[in-house]
Structure 1
Amino acid sequence: MTERSQYAGNLDKVLDSIRQLPSLPGLVVELLENFGDENVNIATLANKIAHDQALVARLMRVANSPFYGVSGQIGSISEAIAMLGFTNVRGLVLTAGLINVFTGMEKYFDWRAFWRHNVAAAVCAKLLAGGTGLNPDAAFTAGLLHDIGKLVMWSCFPHDVARLGELSEESGLSPLQLERETFGFDHTLLGSEVAKRWNFPVDIQHAIALHHTHYLPGGGKTMADVIYTANLLAETLQDDEVCEARQLQVNGVAWSRLKLDGERLAKLTAQARRQFQSTMPLLSD
């Protein structure tokens, strides 16, 4: 068993002590605040996006990827919006902006694997939300950020967190259990508290907190339902061969929570896989 952290059981102390956690760029904050606003000034946001060269570089790689069939033809944010639509560009910008915030942590953990999973969850969440009446943009954001607590843990306690994988194999305990033993809380609670301090919408805070919580009978179609299911489904997008047990688990959860039949879930999975692959240029250096 791990030694208990000096912060164990005191989440507020952890949050107050986080000095190295980056602040969100103003553009990312603005996108988070405005994704539900149908009257957002696209030209103004496009101009702000254009002034962040690191972000633009990632976005242009995606916009000019073969997936969109316009390789080499998009040279500006305005052209990207015209070709891809503002909703798609906004999601890509949010993703690229958050990736840029947390660059430089490669020595601590596999950040590409982290973002591959979270981008996959975001894509799945957006598609799942489309059939529930929930805001697809908000679902994309919640999927993208559902593991933000892990980033905070890696940023603040890299050596403690690095040991958890080995300890999980040795002890048979889940990573969540070991996080609680080590820190007195897990990444879902930490992530939801960070989201609260960053002023994310309440439904996104709840989805982050509950993305590992098992289905409760009688629950409605909430953002938390979507993100829980998207988190499972995302794992299947990244495997060349999905094990039968995992696929059955995804099917059962999706049917119970979101009442998806097998045909629709299969179509959604195929569509999500294509969209997921189209976003991978975001993770290029």
Structure 2
Amino acid sequence: MPMQVQDLLKQSDKLPNVPDVVRELIQLLSNPDANYSTIAERVTHDQTISLKVLRVVNSAYFGLSRKISSIDEATVLLGMDKLKTLVIASGFANSVSEVEGIKLPDFWSDSFHVAELAQWLAHHTDLVDKDEAFTVGIVHNIGRLLIHLAEPELAVQVQETVANKRASRVKAEEDAFGFTSQLAGQKLLEFWRLPELLSRAVGEHKRPFAAGEPMPLACVLNLACYLNACVRNERDADLVREGFPMAVAKAAGLPESIVYELDDALSLDNGLDQLI
């Protein structure tokens, strides 16, 4: 009998441990009337997150002229938008301490970079909210994490199959588990009761046109993953522009001129790696 995604979710002791305050914050993202002051207060009481956030705020990346010692101060100086991204990134980066077959610093650094690229793209379209784009970038690969936590031996076999170029990751995962890590990620986000927009985007971003009408958020995530792979492989900027999926960009509501701005995206630095 083939494995089901639900079999992974039943192993509750294996699931990433994301703080409630982070999940509440994500649920508020799509609410224009959200009161973030209570969330900032909750963050203050979560010592792990607040210490990590303050460490980043006080880093050379932000270049502030004085030391910031409280979340309230950080909110005043940086604004709630920046604080939201730092809290969400920190909450996920600390959700697991060890995963067989995955180097967590590399995994989260990669996720943070996709998040930053997704947010950059969202700034260029009216169809996607930048906070939702950032968050979906952070969690876009959470399904792979879940698979490695729940089925480490099979997950490592999949890694080896992909590394040896015997199959694409999608094919290797479907052969080994009967489903992809994108579907596993979608089901985990649904299990956590995060907004449907995020869970669907995670599930659909690899093939945004497969389910009919493409979701702009899934398209932005698809493009962010493309750009991230280009950066990782040090692809020449002209080749990046040449290969940029314009049909996906159009579905995301991006202007055709976006290809001439890609150099800015390729040189992004988010300063978030210190959260790892």
Q: TM-score range by the shorter chain?
A: 0.7 to 0.9
Q: Please say if 1:66 is aligned against 2:66.
A: no
CA distance in 2, matches of 1:86, 1:272: 26
Contact kept? 1:127, 1:268, Cα under 8 Å: no
- Say whether 1:223 aligns with 2:223: no
Counterpart secondary structure, 1:234: helix
Q: Deviations over 1:266-285 (max 9, x none)?
A: 535525743x34222222xx
Unaligned runs of 5+ in 1: 1-6
Which of 144, 149, 166 aligns to 2:160? It is 166
Give the match for residue 55 of structure 1: 49
Whichever residue aligns with residue 205 of structure 2, its letter is H
**1:204 match:** 198
Going from structure 1 to structure 2, the CA distance change for 1:159 and 1:216 (only over 3 Å counts) comes to closer
Number of positions where the alignment pairs a residue of Structure 1 with one of Structure 2: 275
Partners of 1:155 and 1:270 in 2: how far apart? 36
| Maintained 8 Å contact 1:65/1:71 | no
Partner residue in 2 for 1:113: 106
Q: What letter matches 2:110 in structure 1?
A: H
Check 1:44–1:169 CA distance in 2 against 1; reply closer, same or farther (3 A cut): closer
* SS in structure 1 at match of 2:14: coil
Quickly say closer, same or farther: Cα 1:214–1:224, change in 2 above 3 A.
Answer: closer
- 1:25 has 2:19 as partner: yes
Bigger drift between 192-201 and 129-138 goes to 129-138
Instruction: Answer yes or no: is the 8 Å Cα contact 1:9–1:183 preserved in 2.
Output: yes
Contact kept? 2:127, 2:252, Cα under 8 Å? no
Check the 8 A contact 1:62/1:282 in 2, yes or no: yes
What is the match of residue 4 of structure 1? none
1:263 shift after superposition = 5.2
Match of 2:32 among 30, 38, 43: 38
Q: Is the 1:121–1:143 contact (alpha carbons within 8 Å) kept by the matching residues of 2?
A: yes
Of 167, 174, 178, the residue aligned with 1:184 is: 178
Question: What is the aligned-residue RMSD (CA, Å)?
Answer: 2.7
Q: Work out whether residues 223 and 245 of structure 2, in 8 Å CA contact, stay in contact via their aligned partners in 1.
A: no
1:117–1:235: 8 Å Cα contact kept in structure 2? no
Would the aligned equivalents of 1:229 and 1:253 in 2 still touch at CA under 8 Å?
no
Distance 1:254 1:171, change over 3 A: closer
**Which of 142, 152, 157 is the matching residue for 2:151?**
157
| Residue of structure 1 in register with 2:93 after alignment | 99
How does 1:230-249 map onto structure 2 within 5 Å?
230-242=224-236, 245-249=239-243
Deviations 1:20-66 (A, max 9, x none): 21443210121011122333333322221112222122212221222
Letter in 1 for 2:53: L
Aligned-pair CA distance for 1:18: 4.4
Aligned-residue sequence identity (percent) comes to: 24
SS of match in other structure, 2:94: helix
Tell me the TM-score normalized by structure 1: 0.85
Q: TM-score, normalised by structure 2?
A: 0.87
Code of the residue aligned with 2:275 in structure 1: it is: L
Deviations along 1:242-284, one digit per CA (max 9) or x if unpaired, are 476555323545544346457534535525743x34222222x
| C-alpha distance in 2 between matches for 1:262 and 1:98 | 34
Q: Deviations over 1:146-183 (max 9, x none)?
A: 11100101111122211222222445310111111011
- Mapped partners of 2:48, 2:109: distance in 1: 19
C-alpha spacing 1:250/1:241, structure 2 compared with 1 (3 Å): same
Q: How far is the alpha carbon of 1:73 from its aligned partner?
A: 2.3
Contact 1:215 1:253 in 2 (8 A): no
